[in-house]
Structure 1
C-alpha cells in the first residue's frame, strides 16, 4: 500500500469532492432509515408477541396449592336401586398417597434424573433444557425431545389438558412458575410422585409398586425404582410386563445417571444392573387379577358427569377428570341392571345377527411393531373379512411381508370387531331416564371406545317420516290422519325426474295420512313436507332434540342444508344418533312432552354433599292430541304395516321402521305404554347390507318382549281432546251412505280419530254413482231395460297431479276404480229405437261395408259388463311377508 504524502493528498481531495460527499450522505441516510425500520419492526413484533402471550396467560385458570394435591379417592357408581356397580379409576386408578419421607430417596432421584435433572435449581421452567430440546429437535428434524419439568408435568396432569397446543404450553409454563412461588420443591415432588401415570391403571408410585412388584413403595430396590421411573412418557411402550426389552433400555440409562450424579454408589449400581427384576414382574403378573372393562353405559355416565362439572362448576376438563377419578365421588345413575342384562344377553346371542355367507364379516384392527437394524418400525392395518380363515391368512402373510430374517417382533395387537354392528337404547319416556344401552356388538376392548348409540350419527331413514313431515303437518298445518294425498308419479319443484320411488314398486293412488304412515309411503310423505315447507319440518326436529342437523353449511364451495325435501325421508347431511332418535320418539309416547335423556340423578362428593343434581330439560313440543293420533297410526304400522315383525302382542306397540335407500342403515323406533327403544344396525364403514332379513326388528322384539314379561298390559291413554267421525278414506271427508260404502273394494268407510275442531264438515266428493248397462258396459240410456241396469260407484281424482307416460303408463292401484276416459260422455248404444232405412238410399257405390248404424262390426262385439261386487278380491300389491321394507 502507498503511504507517500502525494498519495495522501490525492485521497483527501477525492474525499472532499462534492460528488462523493453527496453520495456518502445519501448512503448514510439509507442505512439509518433501514436500521430504524428494522428496529421498529422488531419492537412492534416483540410488543405484539408480548401482547399475544399476555392474552394467553390472562386466560389461564387461577391456581392454588390445593389444585396440585391429588385428593386420592376412587369414585363409585350406584344403580337405580343403590347397588354399587362400578369403581371409576380409568387413568387414575387405585392411587394410594404417600408422604415424601415414605418414598426411598433413590426412587425420588430416579424420576428426577430421567425427567428433570435441574429440578432443585430451576423456578418451574428449565431454560437450559428448553434450548437443548430445540437444538436436538432441529438436528434430528423431528420432535424427539421435550423440556417439561416435573412442575410442568404436575400442572398438566392436575390442572390443564394434554392438548398439544402452543397456548396450553405457555399457560403450563406460567402456572409452573406461579406454583413454585406458593409451594416448596418437596411438596411439588411429593404430589408428582403421587400423581404420575405409570401404566396399567396406576397413578402414583405406591399403586405402581403394588401392581408390578406386589410390595410397598418403601420396600422397592434401586433396580425396581428405576423400572418404575422408566415407564413415564410412554407407559405402553415402556410397559415392563409386555415390553420388558424397551423398559430395560431406559432403566439402564436411569441407573447410569444415578451413578454419574452420585445418587448411588458403584456397589449399588453393580447390584442393580445384575438384579433379575423383570423375572419378578412376570411372576407377579401371573397372579394379577384381570382388570374389568366398564360398560357403554358407565362410559356415557363418565362423559356426562365430566361435562356437567365443567359447565356448572366452571372448571377445566383436567380438573373435572381429577374430581371423577380422584375425588371420591358417589354417582347415582338411572341404569336398570335387569334390563341391561337382557340387552347384553341379546347382543351376545349370535342368532340375533346375520350368519356367515350372508352379511357376516369381521373388521380387523391390527398393529405390529418390528425391531429392525435401523430402528423400530410400527405398522397398522384395518381390513374386513368374511371368514376367520381369511383373517388368519391375511395376518400370517402380512407378518411375512413386514418381518425380515433378522428382525424382532416387539409388539403386536389384534382387535376384532364383528360386522355388521348394532346399537340400542331403552328409555323411560315419562322420566327421560335411559334404562339400558349397548353401543356395539362383540367384546368391548376398552373404556371410552366408540359408542355407536351416542357417538356415531347415522342416516335415520323412514323413522324420520313421522318426525319431519307428519308430526308438524298434524300439529300445525291442519292435517289429520284422514287427509288424503295421491300416491302417483310426481315431479317436485327443482326435480327433473319422477321422485321419490316406493319400495312396493307401484303407486297406491288416493291414500290417507294414516296409510302413508302404516305403509311407509314415500310420495305421500314428501308431498306432506312440501305442503308444510321443509323449514317447518326442520324447526320441529330441532325442538325434538336433534343436534346434528345442518342449517346451512359450506364445504369445498358447496352449500349443504337439511331444509330440503329429502329431509322427509331421513336423507340428511350428518345423520342422527340412536340416543337422540330414542328421545324424539319418547316425546310422542309421553303425550307430546320432550324430556332430555339422562343417565344419572345426582353426584355426591367425598363428604356426601350433593355437587350435581340432574334435572332434565322438559318442553311440550306437540299437542297432546297430535301425539295420540301419531301413536294410533304407529300402532297400526306394527299390527298391519311394515313393523309387523316386532309385535309380541302382550302390550300395545307403536313404531316405525327405517331403511335408507342404499340399505346401509336399518332401524326400528318404537314404544309401549312403558318404554321407548330404538335399535340400529349397519356396518361401521358405510357398506350396503345385502341381506338385512329384518334382524333389527328381531332384536327389538327379542329385547322388549323380555323387558315387558312381568308387566301388566297397559293401553295408550286417549286424551279428552280426541273425537271420532266416520269418513271416506278416498276423500278424507264424511262418508256418504249408499255411496262410499258401495266402493267395490269392500267399502272405503272407517271410523277415524280427530282432534276436536278438525273433524271434516263436508261430505265425500270423490265417489259418485252411475247407472250402467250390463250389456254395453257404458252408462245406461233411457232405452236400457231395467233388468240390464246396475248401479256402479266410481272415484274421480284430479288428473293434473298424475304424470302420464304414454309409452310406460304408471301402475296405479286404484285406476281401475275410475271411469275410463273413453266412457266419459258416452251412453249405451246397444239399446234404443230401431232406425228405418232412408226412403232415398244413396247410390250403391257410396254405401260402406255394412257396419253403418248401431250394429258393430263382427270383430267388435261388446263384452258384457261385469261390475265388481263388494266381496270380489282386489290386488293392491301389499307386501307379501314381514321382511318387506321401505326403500326411501
Structure 2
C-alpha cells in the first residue's frame, strides 16, 4: 500500500514539475525576417545571419520539389503523416541501437529537429527533452507542414559556419538553392547529417556514400524515377567550396555584434527583426591588410597578430584583424588581448617629447626619479642590471 502511495505521489510531483516547466515556456514563432544584415561603409551587404548564424532565408516555393524531398527521404519519410513524433521509428531505432550497442540510427522527425535547431541549446538534459517535446507539439499544432519544412530547411547546419539551404548552396556550389540539380540537392541532404564527417571539403568519399544512400531512399519512396536515380548517382558534382571567413572579416563582425549586445539589440529578437547595421569597414583596405598578414604568417602557431586601422579625427574603425586565422582561433586579440603594448607605445611617447621641444640632442640627467601619475600612484623606472 505504501509503495502505491509513493508511486502516486511521485507521479503527481513529476506531472506538476512538467506542467510548471511547460507553463513557463513561450509559444514558438516561425519567422523568416529576423535577419541581421551588416553593410560596409559603401552600403554593400557583406554579412547576413538568421538565428545567430550565417544564413540567407529562402522560401520553400522557390525550391525544386526534389530539394525538400531529398531531406524528407533521409530524415523523416513519414513527415506528412505524423504529428511531430514518429513512434514507430522511435521504437525501431531503439532496438537497432540496442542490438548494435551503439547509436546507429536517430529517431528525431523534422519538426523535432526544427524545434531543437531554433529554440534550444545543445545541452543534453531531461529539462531540454521536455522543452523539445513541448515545442515540437506546439509547432505541429500551430503551423502547416509546408511552413515547418520551410523553416527546417533554413535552420539546418551544413558546416563551415553555414546555416540554411540557401547559404549552403552558395557555399558548396556557388548558386542559389533555386538552381540546384537533383545530385547537388542530395549532397546537401547528406552533409547536414554530420558536416564534420560528410562535407566534401573534408571527406568526399564519405559524401558520395551518404549521397547515394539519400538517392536510394528517394527511389525506394518513388520520389524519383529510375533514370533520375542512375543519372544522379553517376553525376560528378563540381564543388565551389567558398573560402571560410574570407579576409578574416569575422573578427570585425564579432566586434560589431559585441557592440549590438552592449546596446541590447542582439539578443532582443523583436528589435533584431530586419536590423540593418552600416559599419565603417573599408573592405579593400581590410583585404589588403589580410593579404600582407598572410604573406608573413610564421610557422610558430604561438606567434599571433592584431591590427586596428582608425581614421584620424573621426575615430572610425576602417579595418580590424584579431589573428592570423579566424578558423583556427576566433579570439579577437585586437579587442580582448590583455598583453602589454610594448614598443607600440614609442611613437606616442616620441610625439609627446617633440611637442614639448625635445630633440635628438636633448640631454637628460640619469638619476633616480619618481613620477606621480593620477589614478595610478608613483612610478620609478630603473636601469637594467
TM-score, normalised relative to structure 1: 0.35
**1:262 aligns to 2:222 (yes or no):** yes
Q: What's 2:38 paired with?
A: 76
Select which of 344, 347, 352 maps to 1:699. Answer: 344
Q: What's 1:879 paired with?
A: 382
Select which of 318, 327, 330 maps to 1:449. Answer: 330
Instruction: Name the SS for the 1:237 alignment partner.
Output: helix
Report the CA distance between 1:699 and its aligned residue.
2.2
Distance 2:262 2:112 in 1: 25
Q: What's 2:5 paired with?
A: 40
Distance 1:713 1:307 in 2: 37
For 1:331-410, list aligned pairs within 5 A: 331-332=277-278, 348=293, 388=299
Report the CA distance between 1:229 and its aligned residue.
0.8
Are 2:54 and 2:163, in contact at CA under 8 Å, matched by a contact in 1? yes
Select which of 265, 272, 275 maps to 1:329. Answer: 275
**1:234 aligns to 2:194 (yes or no):** yes
Aligned length: 365
**1:87 aligns to 2:33 (yes or no):** no
Which of the pair is proportionally richer in strand?
1
For 1:621-660, list aligned pairs within 5 A: none
Which of the pair is proportionally richer in helix?
2
Higher relative contact order (CA 8 A, sep 6+): 2
Are 1:439 and 1:450, in contact at CA under 8 Å, matched by a contact in 2? no
**1:98 aligns to 2:59 (yes or no):** yes
Aligned CA distance change for structure 1 residues 243 and 55 (closer, same or farther; 3 Å): same
Distance 1:60 1:167 in 2: 12
Distance 2:188 2:8 in 1: 48
Report the CA distance between 1:244 and its aligned residue.
1.5
Report the CA distance between 1:256 and its aligned residue.
1.5
Distance 2:98 2:9 in 1: 27
Report the CA distance between 1:174 and its aligned residue.
0.7
Distance 1:269 1:700 in 2: 66
Aligned CA-pair RMSD: 4.8
Are 2:305 and 2:333, in contact at CA under 8 Å, matched by a contact in 1? yes
Report the CA distance between 1:185 and its aligned residue.
0.8
**1:274 aligns to 2:231 (yes or no):** no
Are 1:130 and 1:147, in contact at CA under 8 Å, matched by a contact in 2? yes
Report the CA distance between 1:184 and its aligned residue.
1.0
Q: What's 2:67 paired with?
A: 107
Report the CA distance between 1:50 and its aligned residue.
2.0
Instruction: Name the SS for the 2:198 alignment partner.
Output: coil
Distance 1:308 1:224 in 2: 41
**1:417 aligns to 2:301 (yes or no):** yes
Instruction: Name the SS for the 1:131 alignment partner.
Output: helix
Q: What's 1:305 paired with?
A: 260
Distance 2:262 2:328 in 1: 17
Distance 1:310 1:143 in 2: 40
Aligned CA distance change for structure 1 residues 88 and 160 (closer, same or farther; 3 Å): farther
Q: What's 1:606 paired with?
A: none
Q: What's 1:59 paired with?
A: 24
Aligned CA distance change for structure 1 residues 256 and 328 (closer, same or farther; 3 Å): same
Distance 2:80 2:71 in 1: 13
For 1:233-252, list aligned pairs within 5 A: 233-252=193-212
Report the CA distance between 1:119 and its aligned residue.
0.9
Report the CA distance between 1:178 and its aligned residue.
0.7
Distance 1:294 1:753 in 2: 38
Distance 1:93 1:176 in 2: 24
Report the CA distance between 1:337 and its aligned residue.
6.6
Aligned CA distance change for structure 1 residues 48 and 289 (closer, same or farther; 3 Å): closer
Distance 1:216 1:179 in 2: 28
Aligned CA distance change for structure 1 residues 209 and 86 (closer, same or farther; 3 Å): closer
Distance 1:98 1:331 in 2: 24
Aligned CA distance change for structure 1 residues 161 and 427 (closer, same or farther; 3 Å): farther
Are 1:297 and 1:436, in contact at CA under 8 Å, matched by a contact in 2? no
Distance 1:40 1:178 in 2: 33
Distance 2:229 2:373 in 1: 89
Instruction: Name the SS for the 1:699 alignment partner.
Output: helix
Report the CA distance between 1:186 and its aligned residue.
1.5
Are 2:56 and 2:166, in contact at CA under 8 Å, matched by a contact in 1? yes
Q: How far does the alpha carbon of each residue in 1:115-170 deviate from its partner, in whole angstroms, 9 at most, with x for none? A: 11221122122333333444444444455543322112222333333444432332
Are 2:85 and 2:109, in contact at CA under 8 Å, matched by a contact in 1? yes
Report the CA distance between 1:234 and its aligned residue.
1.9
Q: What's 1:196 paired with?
A: 156
Bigger radius of gyration:
1
Report the CA distance between 1:254 and its aligned residue.
1.1
**1:294 aligns to 2:264 (yes or no):** no
Aligned CA distance change for structure 1 residues 418 and 152 (closer, same or farther; 3 Å): same
Are 2:309 and 2:318, in contact at CA under 8 Å, matched by a contact in 1? yes
For 1:526-545, list aligned pairs within 5 A: none
Report the CA distance between 1:84 and its aligned residue.
4.5
Aligned CA distance change for structure 1 residues 76 and 753 (closer, same or farther; 3 Å): closer
Q: How far does the alpha carbon of each residue in 1:473-502 deviate from its partner, in whole angstroms, 9 at most, with x for none? A: xxxxxxxxxxxxxxxxxxxxxxxxxxxxxx
Aligned CA distance change for structure 1 residues 206 and 38 (closer, same or farther; 3 Å): same
Are 2:36 and 2:276, in contact at CA under 8 Å, matched by a contact in 1? no
Q: What's 1:365 paired with?
A: none
Instruction: Name the SS for the 2:17 alignment partner.
Output: helix
Distance 1:417 1:44 in 2: 60
Report the CA distance between 1:228 and its aligned residue.
1.6
Distance 1:139 1:424 in 2: 56
TM-score, normalised relative to structure 2: 0.73
Q: How far does the alpha carbon of each residue in 1:407-448 deviate from its partner, in whole angstroms, 9 at most, with x for none? A: xxxxxxxxx6233x56688999xx9x895896755x123398
